[in-house]
Amino acid sequence: MSPSTGESIDTIRVLHVDDEPGFADLSATFLERGDSRMEVRTATTPDAGLDILAGNRIDCVVSDYEMPGTNGIEFLEAIRETHPDLPFILFTGKGSEEVASEAISAGVTDYLQKQGTGVAEQYELLARRIANAVEATRSSRLLKERTRRLETLISNLPGMVYRTLNDPSWPMETVEGEVEALTGYPPEAIETNEVVWGTEVVHPEDRESMWEAVQESLAEDRPFEVTYRIITGDGRTKWVWERGRGVYNDEGELSALEGFITDLTERKKYEKQLKEEQQFVQSILRSLPDPLYAIDTDGYPIRWNEQFEAVSGYSGDEIEGMHVTDFVPQEEVERITGTFDPILEGRRPVTIESIIETKEPETFAVLPALVAISPNGRTANGNSKPSIELHGGCSPGKSPKKSPKSVSSSPKTWSVSR
């Protein structure tokens, strides 16, 4: 139902214009009786009809041909100035090939000849013609709106959308979006397979693995995601990410693939640089003679070296899941974290002495540490986050007051204000 009028969205609003008032009213009665969706308004002149049309939503106009001072074709032309797609049915008593030809040339939606006021069948036919014309127009409008939305979406996507056959050569049927910016080829060259995606665009070293990945996803009836290289029209190599899925016909047979492809080249460059930086940092950490570990501001380790593993007695896999309070005694936490606010605020190192509880029961190490902030720390999920680094020499010792220790799963008392 319409929220403003209470009408059903299936309501068909008809304007019937005929210079014989009795005939127009009779037509309205038959039409509304024959199809409960129809609401018919009548007018006896084209001018009155135009006034109704200007102030009301009308889905279809039914008009006589011969009217005083004008005719149905001239009325249609006046309507087309403001309503170019409104269905218009010429319902006339003057039936001739000349009128029919003129009506078709003028662009009427349908043409129907009157058969007299007492023939109910003609109104049933008219009602069907009206319903068909309105439904066709509504479907066309819906299709146009969906097409417009799709075109808007595609134009804002950073890449291209496609439809292709499931063949190792990936013959493209349609491509849209930033095709040339991504591939260096005009869309029509790819759509006509003047340039074949699978054999001329996809990098030779990635063709087989890409095909296998797509087929595996199709076999499991799920969307596929593949990352691979392409060779552009000017010979450059780009990394792309593609996501798509199979399109099936009514018989359940795979008819095509549809999906989206976007450029990953810059991201790949960043990932390569990050990996090289991480490898460089790790090589430095391994070369340091003293233990080092870095924690984020929530107290979880993000990097450490082998010397720290040796001193703490924990393996790298164990340290990765620990909290700093798992190897710093709880009574030391407040003293140590008290130094973190000045570090974070002033970006300056502070030297403290930290007691590290080792994995071996009742054993600890004293770490005279230089505590400093690292603004480019990275958490386990890859997000950048400031970190606290502790590094320096250590000396082993025994703590007769300590009981055998295991990694705690209880909530951690840890507070850093950044």
Tell me the pLDDT tens digit for each residue of 126-165.
999 999 999 999 998 888 888 777 777 767 778 999 999 9
Domain spanning 272-398, CATH class: alpha beta
* 216 Rama sector, left if φ>0, alpha if ψ -120 to 50, beta otherwise: alpha
Cα separations in angstroms, 8 against 38, 40, 55, 233, 274:
11, 15, 19, 55, 60
Angle of CA points 140, 141, 147, to nearest 5°: 90
Phi-psi region of 99 (alpha: psi -120 to 50; beta: other; left: phi over 0): alpha
- Quote the tokens at residue 157: 């996507």
Average pLDDT value over all residues in the chain: 80
**Pick from 316, 320, 325, 323: nearest CA to 300:** 323
CA dihedral 265, 269, 271, 275 (to 10 degrees): 150
| Type and span of the H or E element at 133 | helix 120-156
**Least confident segment among 35-39, 271-275, 279-283, 386-390:** 386-390
pLDDT for res 397: 47
Share of the chain above pLDDT 70, in %: 77
Q: DSSP states of 25-43 as a string?
A: HHHHHHHHHH-TTEEEEEE
Per-residue pLDDT of 217-248, as tens digits, reads 999 999 999 999 999 999 999 999 999 999 99
Residue 303 to residue 204: CA distance in whole angstroms: 39
Checking if the pLDDT of 335 tops 90, the result is no
Please tell me which residue, 33 or 118, carries the higher pLDDT value: 33
Reported as half-sphere exposure (CB side, CA atoms, 13 A), residue 54 has a value of 8
Pick the closest to residue 343 from 397, 418, 292 (CA basis): 418
Lowest mean pLDDT among 201-210, 242-251, 380-389: 380-389
Cα 100–102–105 angle (5° rounding)?
A: 110
Helix (H) or strand (E) holding 127: helix 120-156
Residue-wise pLDDT tens digits, 254-302: 999 999 999 998 888 878 787 877 777 777 777 777 777 777 767 788 7
- Tell me the average pLDDT across 21-29: 87
More confident residue, 269 or 345: 269
Residue 380 confidence (pLDDT) above 80: no
Give 5's pLDDT tier (boundaries 50, 70, 90): very low
- Contact partners, residue 399, CB within 8 Å, separation at least 6: 362, 363, 364
Q: Assess contact for 126 and 109: CB atoms under 8 A.
A: no
Q: Write the class of the CATH domain 12-153.
A: alpha beta
Residue 26 in tokens: 């009779």
Distance CA 110, CA 123 (A): 14
Say how many residues make up the chain: 418
Instruction: Please tell me which residue, 274 or 373, carries the higher pLDDT value.
Output: 274
Same fold, 158-263 and 272-398: yes
Q: Which of 128-137, 231-240, 333-342, 389-398 has the lowest mean pLDDT?
A: 389-398
Q: Which of 43-47, 176-180, 329-333 is the least confident region? A: 329-333
- With H, G, I as helix, E, B as strand and everything else as coil, classify residue 181: helix
Q: What is the CATH superfamily name and number for domain 158-263?
A: PAS domain (3.30.450.20)
Alpha helices in 206-358 (DSSP H): 207-219, 265-287, 306-312, 316-320, 330-337, 340-346
**pLDDT tens digits, 113-122:** 887 555 678 8
Long-range contacts of 367-370 (CB under 8 A, 24+ apart): 367/291, 367/311, 367/392, 367/393, 367/394, 368/392, 368/393, 368/394
Position 349, amino acid: P
- What pLDDT does 217 receive? 96
Q: Domain boundaries in the chain? A: 12-153, 158-263, 272-398
| CA distance linking residue 106 with residue 180, whole number of Å | 42
DSSP secondary structure code for residue 359 in this structure: S
Q: Is 55 exposed, middle or buried (0-12, 13-18, 19+ CB in 10 A)?
A: exposed
